[in-house]
Amino acid sequence: MSMDDCGKCEQLLQGYLDRELSDDEVAQAERHLDGCDYCRRRYRFEESLRTYVRTSAAERMPPGLLEKLAQLRTTGPGTSPI
Amino acid sequence: MGEPDTAEPDEARRIATEARDRVRFEEEALALADQVYRVARRFVSSREEAEDLVQDTYARAFRSWQSYTPGTNLRAWLLRILTNLNVDRGRRIQRRPDELPLEEHDYYLANRVAETGGEQVLDQDRVVERLSQDSIVTALSSLPDDFRDVVVLVDIGDFSYADAAQILDIPIGTVMSRLHRGRRLLKATLAEEAIT
């Protein structure tokens, strides 16, 4: 493993996790990751970070908003022809 | 002669079908409200602004429901309206290039975490939780608007690159480059603000 390989592996990180790499690039990243703890740790870190960003940033709709939106309907629930 | 007059029943049927489609559209749109709000909330700085934006979005969506093609991605269609309204509000900050936060490499944040606790600390399951949830929200909101929009749509809204491109009306290559840069900017900001 050389620093150059780690640099290349770092460049493939986002595409790899997004499943946007070509088969060749995936094979290249995986070959390197198999033998490199340093990069493997960083890939795993990135993966947990993404999950954590998603959960940290998710804020539920405030109570009452859904009712306000329903009032904007042009067809009232009472007028439903179904 | 003796032809039954079918015009009226046809017209009545057409109106009934349209009314039914409209109700179905409104119900499907309302079922997505929580997911729409979730994205809206990260586009603006306060809960009140997010509520206003979502209400304006639904008011417009209900008015122009006929321009939605059934069977296509309704959530993306709603978000397209929402991002247009958000741009129209004109609250977006135009930044000069020299005001952009500093972009670092993709491993930068992990390296900074490893510096404080040693390389092995990265093996811990919950190492990312050393970053507070507040710091993540703050870092997201500090991203330049164009970068933040893409990161929010893809990483929080779960939209594909193609959907994000359509929502923002930009080429898919631009989505990818803004997404990649935006994530690196986010990590660089987290490294500066969250690690002490």
B52: pLDDT strictly greater than 70:
yes
**Is B171 part of any domain?**
yes
Q: B113 contacts in A (CB within 8 Å)?
A: 45
Total domains in the fold of chain B = 2
Assess whether B114 and B72 both reside in one domain. no
Better-scored residue on pLDDT, B196 or A75: A75
Last residue of a domain, one of B43, B64, B94: B94
Of B42, B74, B94, the last residue of a domain is: B94
Q: What is the mean pLDDT of residues B167-195?
A: 92
Cβ of B156 and A72 within 8 Å?
no
Examine the domain organization and report whether B79 and B138 are in the same domain: no
Name, in order, each residue with C-beta under 8 angstroms of B179's C-beta and a sequence gap of 6 or more: A14, B150, B151, B154, B155, B161, B164
Interface test with A, best of B14, B26, B178 (most A CBs within 10 A): B26
> What average pLDDT score do residues B133-146 get?
93
How many Å lie between the alpha carbon of B81 and the closest alpha carbon of chain A?
A: 15
* ipTM for the whole complex: 0.85
pTM: 0.88
In a shared domain, residues B59 and B20: yes
B165 shares a domain with B109:
yes
For residues B88 and B106, state if they share a domain: no
Percent of chain B with pLDDT over 70: 90
Give A67: exposed, middle or buried? Use CB within 10 Å, 0-12, 13-18, 19+.
Answer: exposed
Which pLDDT value is given to residue A80? 44
DSSP character string of B152-177: IIIIIS---HHHHHHHHTS-HHHHHH
The domain spanning residue B111 has which CATH number?
A: 1.10.10.10
pLDDT in tens, B62-118: 999 999 999 999 999 999 999 999 999 876 766 666 666 678 899 999 999 999 888
Same domain, B191 and B106: yes
Chain mean pLDDT for chain B? 90
Give the gap in angstroms from C-alpha B23 to the nearest C-alpha of chain A: 6
A20 CB neighbours in chain B (<8 A) are: 161, 176
- Whether B146 and B190 map to the same domain: the answer is yes
Does B172 lie in the same domain as B191?
Answer: yes
Do residue B191 and residue B113 come from a single domain? Answer: yes
CA torsion, ordered B180, B182, B188, B193, to nearest 10 deg = -150
Q: Residues A41-59: what's their mean pLDDT? A: 95
Residue B196, pLDDT above cutoff 70: no
Both B83 and B113 in one domain: the answer is: no
**Interface A:B, Cβ pairs < 8 A:** 117
What is the pLDDT averaged over residues A12-39?
95
| Residue B146 and residue B163 in one domain | yes
Model confidence at B35: pLDDT above 90: yes
Considering the domain architecture, whether residues B15 and B61 belong to the same structural domain is answered as yes
Domain membership of residue B129 as a residue range: 102-195
